[in-house]
Structure 1
Amino acid sequence: MTDLPAYPSPSAGHSADPAGARPRPAAIAGAFWAYVAATLVGVAGAVFLFFSRDALADAMRRANGQNAARLTDAQIDQAVTIGIVVGAVLAIAFALLHLLFAFKLRAGRNWARIVLTVLTALQVVSLLAGQATVVGSVSAVFALVGVVLSFLPQASQYIAAAKAEHRPGQPV
């Protein structure tokens, strides 16, 4: 009656990749959602920073009182505004890239798994170097869960199968 192709239904506990060729293991799905959660927590932290402008300006004024070269109130307000804008732009760019890598991991790209692992390692090093915040720590925990899940045997098998499907010379 119709000429529409029949699509296979995903097996229980798995969802199919966009091409529908192979089931996506729960470890990959879990890693994907852990990275999404880490990204959302990081964005929430950036939004919180945006709304704490007055506290940042007050902290900068207190620090300014200890410096020999004094800044005016207008300069402090300008510095805080620039810092918040730069921080927001960087947070949005980082979040978009993080999500891109998470979607590429979900599609079975090993390079995305490596990039996400390196980004997570840098995040953990930053926390250990004294830049720890509650938001940063929660984001790092989600990202670490994503790393662990993405290196489980079933996830590695999924990525190996995806690599075998995309041999050199074929479009990715």
Structure 2
Amino acid sequence: MVTSSKKITPPVTVVAAFFGFLVSTVSALVSAGLLLGAREELANALRTSDTQMTEEQLDQAVTVAQAFAVGVAVLVALFYLWLAFKLKAGRNWARVVLTVVTLLQVASLFTTQGNSLWGYGSCAIAVVALVLSYLPASNEYIAAVKHSR
């Protein structure tokens, strides 16, 4: 950890964790984007369910479902990115929230069906980034940032 005129430079572990969370976020967004290509599969699932929708209603339902899912994914990604930047700035509360979010992401892999390779990859990268954020150099950096305020 290098200090110069009261500016504390994040160690390699924090920088690597930051980039890991960035890559995990981009991967999750790509996975959400793949949902847009699954329009016909969603429509077929609705057709085979016990709904009495016309084709026009079915088309609207698929559009709304896709828009909602992508919108939620974008909002979650923005929140995740904000937390990653706060972690890089040495905020312990961001590391704690990232821990909770990553653990929820891991739990969702075990409790939901239809996970893709993108989902597993995104989660694995987030877990590695999380571990990096708790290594001794990261702990020292976060403590130094807290002490300097």
CA separation of 1:31 and 1:16: change in aligned 2, threshold 3 A: farther
CA displacement 1:41-96 (0-9 Å, x = unmatched) = 0110111111221222123223x2xx2x4222222211111111111111111111
Give unpaired runs (5+ residues) of structure 1: 1-13, 167-172
Partner of residue 33, structure 1: 19
Q: Name the CA distance, whole Å, in 2 between partners of 1:75 and 1:16.
A: 61
The residue type equivalent to 2:96 in the other structure is: I
Provide the aligned C-alpha RMSD in A. 2.0
- Identical residues among aligned pairs (%): 39
Aligned mate of 1:24, from 1, 4, 10 = 10
The residue type equivalent to 1:107 in the other structure is: A
TM-score by length of 1: 0.80
Higher RCO, 1 vs 2 (CA within 8 Å, ≥6 residues apart) = 2
Question: Quick check: 1:104–1:112 contact (8 Å CA) kept in 2?
Answer: yes
1:127 maps to 2:113: no
Partner of residue 92, structure 1: 74
1:20 to partner: Cα distance: 6.7
Partner of residue 160, structure 1: 143
1:16 to partner: Cα distance: 7.7
Figure out how many residues of one structure are paired with residues of the other and give that number.
Answer: 148
Aligned mate of 1:144, from 94, 116, 127 = 127
CA separation of 1:33 and 1:16: change in aligned 2, threshold 3 A: farther
Higher helix fraction: Structure 1 or Structure 2?
Answer: 2
Moved over 3 A (4+): 14-17
Of structures 1 and 2, the larger Rg is shown by 1
Give unpaired runs (5+ residues) of structure 2: none
TM-score by length of 2: 0.91
